[in-house]
């Protein structure tokens, strides 16, 4: 998954939900079971044995106007108690994110007779049903409903289909031992991309070859009225394609330069890893201002959802252009090599996220590096993007006083990407950015220890270059990482990693210095940061004063975050307040900038007038450091390892 995408849509409802839940818990106490009752789900644990028969799963997504996925599923069964599971722990989300709230209308029949199902009290993703004697198959019908108010998963021009939304599967089996024959019915004339292989086509319905359930869930479909398929590995030994759906035909235009750098991405990834773990690969790319954005990895494909103008406004949208490189890297790092505690036998066994600083942190590192090596970013854009990451971890990142980087790997489950009142203090999913800085430190350390004869590229070839072409999962532990690093060059890697992953205020910028660069601040943002702040399509359309007075806010003056113990925080500024005036004049971001710059000369505080819950108040911010934006500059007289890291591989 990508940082910052798929933010929770339901955050404003949380207060209401909490109130409802509080009422529910009172009711529960009234009707409580005896204190001695063991509160465990009545669900059989998965076994590594084949599930008898083949499930057929037919999904009709032709109703795009109302956003309804209509499902008909036939499951072969034996008489007796059966438990059907809705996928809960979804690979790539690292959390119990299965959207069961959007499943509706479930009816189960046997030989035309309706059977009553009952949800498990302690496992709400499990449905129990008693199958009568003589019955050999269950017929299920239900719907999955796309979000209709915000950005949904289906528009009148395109849709995405993740199979875990539309399948119930039998408990008691490993997902790889359950066989499914899927089909999809699309609107007339639509085309699609997927890693699934077609068995037959009839009208608007495509039936795919039977696959194991885990391959099905790992093989989503992107379909659309406006579609284009581009070959990214012409003449190569394994097919790689870019399958594009767009809001309008004009957005499908790809220039020669854009085609070249996307092809370079594939070549550079193959050169880095020395292998591939797929028989074919499809980048599913949606260019839309209506369908939800996405960044979701799979073994033989990836979901990449960006704004409609990804190609047409190429020179203005470098921010976030590392998305495809990030998701492609995951095919090696995350899908093929997966942390042992993250691998699960089916979708209803909990995941352990303790190695996400490898799964996501190293992917974030290589996502940036491959974007630069392929030419999708210039070296300068790479450094400007990296400066913004580094600045987040400059000196004391407030939250690292009380949490470790390792502890933030619990965030997918603990925080669900919800809106956080004081993000810098609470922290969220730091294993992405802090993990990236950690791996830069590892890369630089290898170069220092070997006089630049070896690098993290050698680790990549050792750790991923095995069983070429196989897409079985190959799990690893912390000790396997240490051992692979020691295979590159002997060092106390366990201690080196421990110091950064599992201590308070870890030395996360050491890699920058060791690679010949340092972080400085000037009063002018980089071109990359300007774009990051101003691009209206960006979900991060926020003005960044994090490194001066310590706030970020939007065009309307609504304060998105306040840096914990920063100048604004000390003055009493709160997240969620609206800035209505600066030094007695009506708020604008330009005027706030000028006020911060002017305060550098004088001794007067900056007077901020804020509005919150009907109250208006003015606070003095005693800050005289001027505007501050991060940049990287060379440490003269040292080797430029960063330049070597992003140089294209021959």
Residues in touch with Zn ion (CB under 5 A): 1, 360
Q: Of 52 and 539, which CB lies nearer to Zn ion in the complex structure?
A: 539
User: Minimal distance in Å, beta carbon 438 to Zn ion?
Assistant: 15
Q: Of 1 and 351, which CB lies nearer to Zn ion in the complex structure?
A: 1
Closest CA to 457 of 545, 369, 377, 565: 369
Q: Are 335 and 473 in contact (CB under 8 A)?
A: yes
Closest CA to 98 of 158, 166, 16, 46: 166
User: Minimal distance in Å, beta carbon 335 to Zn ion?
Assistant: 10
User: Minimal distance in Å, beta carbon 334 to Zn ion?
Assistant: 7
Strands 89-90 and 205-208: unpaired
Tokens 């404003």 -> residue: 12
User: Minimal distance in Å, beta carbon 8 to Zn ion?
Assistant: 17
Question: In 274-397, where does DSSP find H-type helix?
Answer: 323-332, 356-359, 361-373, 379-392
Strands 559-562 and 551-553: antiparallel
Which residue is nearest to Zn ion, using beta carbons?
1
Q: Of 360 and 429, which CB lies nearer to Zn ion in the complex structure?
A: 360
User: Minimal distance in Å, beta carbon 460 to Zn ion?
Assistant: 16
Closest CA to 59 of 177, 137, 139, 142: 142
User: Minimal distance in Å, beta carbon 442 to Zn ion?
Assistant: 18
Q: Of 247 and 360, which CB lies nearer to Zn ion in the complex structure?
A: 360
Q: Are 393 and 435 in contact (CB under 8 A)?
A: no
Q: Of 360 and 407, which CB lies nearer to Zn ion in the complex structure?
A: 360
User: Minimal distance in Å, beta carbon 437 to Zn ion?
Assistant: 16
User: Minimal distance in Å, beta carbon 366 to Zn ion?
Assistant: 11
Q: Are 330 and 361 in contact (CB under 8 A)?
A: no
Q: Of 360 and 457, which CB lies nearer to Zn ion in the complex structure?
A: 360
Q: Of 325 and 627, which CB lies nearer to Zn ion in the complex structure?
A: 325
User: Minimal distance in Å, beta carbon 466 to Zn ion?
Assistant: 22
For the beta carbon of residue 11, count every other beta carbon within 10 angstroms: 13
Q: Of 1 and 370, which CB lies nearer to Zn ion in the complex structure?
A: 1
Q: Counting Cβ atoms within 10 Å, is residue 215 exposed (0-12), middle (13-18) or buried (19+)?
A: buried
- DSSP bridge partners of 493: none
Distance, in Å, from the CA atom of 626 to the CA atom of 382, rounded to the nearest integer, reads 26
Distance, in Å, from the CA atom of 92 to the CA atom of 532, rounded to the nearest integer, reads 25
Q: How far is CA 309 from CA 317, 375, 541, in A?
A: 8, 19, 16
Distance, in Å, from the CA atom of 441 to the CA atom of 618, rounded to the nearest integer, reads 44
Q: Of 1 and 126, which CB lies nearer to Zn ion in the complex structure?
A: 1
Distance, in Å, from the CA atom of 93 to the CA atom of 86, rounded to the nearest integer, reads 16
For the beta carbon of residue 57, count every other beta carbon within 10 angstroms: 24
Token duo for residue 531:
């774009």
Q: Of 1 and 577, which CB lies nearer to Zn ion in the complex structure?
A: 1
User: Minimal distance in Å, beta carbon 357 to Zn ion?
Assistant: 12
Q: Are 545 and 592 in contact (CB under 8 A)?
A: yes
């Amino acid at each position: 998954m990508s940082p910052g995408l798929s933010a929770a849509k339901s955050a404003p409802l949380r207060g209401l939900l909490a109130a409802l839940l509080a009422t529910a818990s009172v009711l529960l106490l009234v009707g409580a079971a005896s204190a001695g009752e063991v509160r465990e789900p009545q669900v059989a644990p998965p076994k590594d044995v084949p599930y008898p028969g083949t499930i057929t799963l037919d999904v009709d997504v032709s109703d795009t106007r109302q956003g309804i996925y209509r499902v008909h599923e036939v499951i072969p069964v034996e008489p007796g108690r059966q438990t059907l599971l809705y996928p809960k722990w979804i690979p790539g989300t690292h959390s119990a994110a299965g959207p069961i709230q959007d499943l509706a209308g479930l009816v189960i029949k046997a030989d035309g007779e309706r059977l009553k199902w009952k949800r498990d009290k302690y496992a709400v993703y499990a449905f129990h049903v008693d199958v009568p004697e003589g019955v050999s198959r269950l017929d299920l019908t239900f719907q999955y409903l796309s979000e209709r108010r915000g950005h949904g998963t289906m528009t009148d021009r395109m849709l995405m289909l993740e199979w875990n939304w539309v399948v119930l599967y039998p408990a008691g089996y490993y997902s790889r031992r359950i066989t499914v024959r899927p089909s999809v019915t699309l609107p007339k004339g639509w085309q699609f991309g997927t890693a699934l292989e077609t068995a037959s086509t009839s009208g608007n319905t495509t039936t795919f070859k039977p696959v194991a359930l885990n391959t099905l869930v790992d093989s989503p479909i992107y379909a659309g009225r406006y579609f284009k398929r581009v070959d990214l590995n012409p003449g190569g030994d394994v097919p790689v394609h870019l399958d594009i759906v767009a809001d309008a035909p004009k957005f499908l235009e790809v220039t020669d330069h854009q085609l070249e750098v996307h092809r370079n991405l594939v070549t550079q990834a193959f050169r880095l890893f020395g292998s591939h773990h797929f028989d074919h690969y499809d980048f599913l790319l949606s260019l839309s201002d209506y369908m939800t954005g996405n960044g979701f990895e799979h073994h033989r494909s990836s979901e990449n959802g960006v704004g409609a103008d990804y190609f047409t406004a190429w020179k203005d949208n470098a921010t976030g252009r590392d998305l495809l490189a990030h998701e492609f890297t995951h095919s090696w790092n995350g899908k093929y090599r997966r942390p042992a505690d993250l691998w699960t036998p089916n979708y209803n066994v909990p995941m352990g996220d303790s190695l996400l600083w490898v799964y996501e942190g190293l992917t974030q590192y290589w996502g940036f590096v491959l974007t630069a090596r392929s030419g999708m970013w210039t070296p300068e854009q790479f450094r400007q993007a990296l400066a913004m990451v580094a600045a987040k971890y400059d000196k004391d990142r407030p939250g690292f006083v009380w949490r470790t980087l390792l502890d933030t790997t619990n965030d997918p489950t603990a925080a669900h990407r919800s809106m956080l009142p004081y993000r810098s203090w609470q922290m969220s999913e730091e294993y992405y950015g802090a993990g990236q800085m950690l791996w830069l430190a590892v890369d630089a350390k290898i170069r220092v220890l070997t006089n630049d004869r070896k690098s993290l590229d050698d680790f990549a070839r050792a750790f991923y270059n095995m069983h070429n072409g196989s897409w079985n999962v190959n799990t690893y532990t912390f000790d396997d990482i240490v051992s692979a690093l020691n295979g590159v060059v002997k060092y106390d890697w366990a201690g080196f990693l421990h110091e950064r992953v599992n201590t308070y205020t870890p030395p996360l910028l050491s890699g920058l210095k060791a690679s010949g660069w340092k972080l400085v601040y000037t009063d002018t943002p980089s071109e990359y940061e300007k774009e990051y702040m101003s691009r209206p399509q960006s979900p991060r359309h926020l003005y960044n004063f994090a490194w001066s007075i310590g706030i970020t806010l939007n065009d309307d003056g609504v304060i998105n975050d306040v840096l914990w113990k920063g100048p604004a925080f000390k003055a009493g500024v709160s997240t969620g307040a609206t800035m209505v005036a600066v030094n007695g004049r009506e708020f604008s971001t330009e005027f706030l900038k000028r006020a911060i710059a002017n305060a550098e000369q004088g001794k007067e505080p900056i007077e901020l007038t804020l509005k919150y819950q009907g109250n208006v108040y003015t606070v003095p911010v005693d800050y005289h450091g001027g505007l501050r934006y991060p940049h990287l500059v060379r440490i003269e007289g040292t080797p430029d390892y960063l330049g070597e890291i992003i140089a294209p591989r021959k």
